[in-house]
Amino acid sequence: MSGAARATPGLVVRGVVTPLRLADFGLIAFDMDSTLITIECVDEIAKVAGKGAEVAAITEAAMRGEIADYKESLRRRVALLEGVPEAALQRVYDERLRLNPGAEALVAACRDAGLKTLLVSGGFTFFSDRVRDRLGIDFTRSNVLEIEAGALTGRMVVQPWGDICDGAEKRRMLLETCASLGIVPQRTIAVGDGANDLPMMAAAGLSVAYHAKPKVREAAMVAIDSGGLDRLLEIFVSAPARAPRRESPPGSSGS
């Protein structure tokens, strides 16, 4: 990571002056799969259906940014799930879905500091609604799997905003939530791990990569490479400190 300063082992910070004060932010947005939770839900559903390898290969290519059209990659994966019993979703939730270490601590700390919380996911409402309720998340946006006669159809339901929450939709939801809360995007934190998180991370005042793909790690202001999500709290202080600001590029006069 060019120009990065390693604060402590496994935590890399660049392009932002620390320590920061958490209360200077108004919103934190999280990706879900492999960020707030340990799994990629579509992959786990596929494993139950005996199509794990096919779906996982598409997921990995999409998260690395090798498949430029995320919507198409997700449609291809969901199509492979046609005929999977609806009960498989509950089985995945009960048996395989776990929160990533530090998720509860980080969300609680943000809530205590007055931040609102947003979950934006290319995953599915069956899981995001449950994670929302478990963590006390304020706002969510994710995809709806179509179910007929107790089985997945291999399609997603069109919602008022569209049918697939991709990178552009994550960014739009972040900005829409800022507008509804009356805060500027510079006062937001965005946390993700995959290529479709980059648009919202670029729009946020503080971008955080959690055990992320190389492209995402290189673009982020904070990279958590080891440990839990609560390691983000290491760059903040509880006492009043300087307002969050980006470093001026080398050779610039600043303001």
Q: Which domains does the chain have, with CATH numbers?
A: 5-39+99-237 (3.40.50.1000)
Q: pLDDT, tens digit, for every residue of 68-106?
A: 788 999 999 999 999 999 999 999 999 999 999 999 999
In this prediction, residue 64 has a pLDDT band, given cuts at 50, 70 and 90, of confident
* Range 194-203 average pLDDT: 96
Is 33 designated active site? yes
Nearby residues of 70 by Cβ (< 8 Å), 6 or more positions away? 62, 122, 164, 166, 167, 195, 196
Query: Is the CB of residue 77 less than 8 Å from the CB of residue 53?
Result: no
Phi, psi of 72 (to 5 degrees): -65, -40
Is 163 designated active site? no
pLDDT of residue 28: 98
Q: Please check the confidence at residue 179 and state whether its pLDDT lies above 60.
A: yes
In angstroms, the CA 173 to CA 190 distance is 12
| DSSP line for 75-128 | HHHHHTTTT-BTHHHHHHHHHT--BPTTHHHHHHHHHHTT-EEEEEEEEEHHHH
Model confidence, pTM: 0.89
Quote the percentage of the chain above a pLDDT of 90: 80
As to burial, measured by CB atoms within 10 angstroms (0-12 exposed, 13-18 middle, 19+ buried), residue 52 is middle
Query: Is the CB of residue 217 less than 8 Å from the CB of residue 223?
Result: yes
Single-letter amino acid, residue 119: L
pLDDT of residue 19: 94
Residue among 24, 31, 43, 193 flagged as catalytic:
31
Q: Please check the confidence at residue 246 and state whether its pLDDT lies above 60.
A: no
In this prediction, residue 5 has a pLDDT band, given cuts at 50, 70 and 90, of low
Residue among 33, 166, 193, 197 flagged as catalytic:
33
Put residue 228 in one of left, alpha, beta given phi > 0 → left and psi -120 to 50 → alpha: beta
pLDDT of residue 145: 98
At which residue do the structure tokens 């904070």 appear? 222
